[in-house]
Amino acid sequence: MIKTALLYMSEQPKLQHLAMRMELSRRTARRFVAGETIQEAVEAISRLNDQGFSATIDYLGENVSSENDALRATNEYLQALDEIQKKSADSNVSLKLTQFGLSIHEEMTSANVERVVLRARDYNNFVRVDMEGSPHTDSTLRIFRSLRQKYENVGIVVQAYLYRTEKDIEDLLQLKSRIRLCKGAYKEPPTIAFKKKIDTDRNYIQLMKILLKSGIYHGIATHDPAMIQATKKFAKTERIANEQFEFQMLYGIRRDLQSQLIHEGYKLRVYVPYGEEWYSYLMRRMAERPANLFFVVRNLFRG
Ligand code: FDA
């Protein structure tokens, strides 16, 4: 119930407007968001790098409705790549296609993202295309495939809660795509997605095995100890070295587990969001773990 309510709230522009004006929510966001500027984000990444983590940077924002906003996001990503390069930070970038204009025009979106992929290629860096809600799955995959046919330095995300994902992975592996596997963060109907955690988890493990056996470098993105354990166990049984894949987790979430994996000799990439548009991102994190709401309440009493 709480999860559904929070996911609903994540999509309400009026609530977004209100929350973003409240100092309390801004302070809460800082637990999960590295800052509002690229400089703050790269500083946070440098600290993570010092502790042995690599990173992927995400300029927050989605569902832009004007070409100008799409262009603004594109330019921000170009600047982010420049800053990463300038500071020699160990970080690639993750982006959402609706922030690049997907709800306006597919060709324009593709052209915007191509500029980012090209800049990343100049720096020997990499671009990850995040996966959004199901209305965008086909177009996201279409744009990704056309980019992947031209460039090596672009990867994609798939969601284990969707029934279609095993087939999508099969197609993506034919293009030798680098894939991030996550469970999926959006509100989806039972006609297309598993609703029970146990079913998503079972599918996640099955898909993880397909990815690890493919011989391509993939990202296993989860904070779930059971998924992590299953991945470690499978890699060991199949003699897949720690360098052949990476775990990925979100900034500020399960920092204990993040450090533990590094100490055990695994690779771990932290997804570092920054920017002013933190509302939807924060609400999805709350929905994943309503216990995070206690964190909000605690901040409230701190005054
Ligand atoms: P699950 O939600 O089952 O949680 C397992 C355990 O992890 C919990 O019991 C708790 O201990 C911990 N945990 C999980 N979420 C937490 C939170 N918010 N706060 C505190 N503890 C938490 N989704 C998507 O649809 N498209 C995308 O492109 C991406 N990209 C992405 C990148 C990276 C690096 C990560 C880690 C995740 C994503 N996601 C995503 C989000 C993903 O789909 C999923 O919603 C979250 O990772 C939560 O799922 P878990 O696998 O962590 O397990």
171 assigned to some structural domain = yes
208 lines ligand 1 (CB under 6 A): no
- The preferred substitution site among 96, 195, 224 for testing ligand 1, maximizing ligand atoms within 8 Å of CB, is 224
221 lines ligand 1 (CB under 6 A): yes
Three-class SS of residue 30? Answer: coil
297 assigned to some structural domain = no
257 assigned to some structural domain = yes
If one counts the domains in the chain, the total is 1
Range of the domain at 105: 33-277
130 lines ligand 1 (CB under 6 A): yes
Q: Which residues are catalytic?
A: 130, 180
302 assigned to some structural domain = no
Question: How far, in Å, CA of 122 to CA of 97, rounded?
Answer: 21
57 lines ligand 1 (CB under 6 A): no
From first to last of its 303 residues, what are the pLDDT tens digits of the chain?
Answer: 667 776 776 777 766 666 665 655 666 777 889 998 999 999 999 999 999 999 999 999 888 989 999 999 999 999 999 999 999 999 999 999 999 999 999 999 999 999 999 999 999 999 999 999 999 999 999 999 999 999 999 999 999 999 999 999 999 999 999 999 999 999 999 999 999 999 999 999 999 999 999 999 999 999 999 999 999 999 999 999 999 999 999 999 999 999 999 999 999 999 999 998 887 788 788 787 766 666 665 554 443
- The preferred substitution site among 32, 91, 183 for testing ligand 1, maximizing ligand atoms within 8 Å of CB, is 183
43 assigned to some structural domain = yes
- Where helices occur in 65-154 by DSSP H, the ranges are 67-86, 106-122, 137-150
Q: What's CA 238's distance to the chain center, in Å?
A: 27
185 assigned to some structural domain = yes
List the CATH number of the domain containing 235: 3.20.20.220
Give burial (CB, 10 Å; 0-12/13-18/19+) of 204.
Answer: buried
Nearest alpha carbon, ligand 1 atom 50: 222
Question: How far, in Å, CA of 105 to CA of 284, rounded?
Answer: 26
Global pTM reads 0.91
Distance 248 CA to ligand 1 centre (A): 10
289 assigned to some structural domain = no
**Per-residue pLDDT reduced to its tens digit, 179-224:** 999 999 999 999 999 999 999 999 999 999 999 999 999 999 999 9
204 lines ligand 1 (CB under 6 A): no
137 assigned to some structural domain = yes
Nearest alpha carbon, ligand 1 atom 4: 224
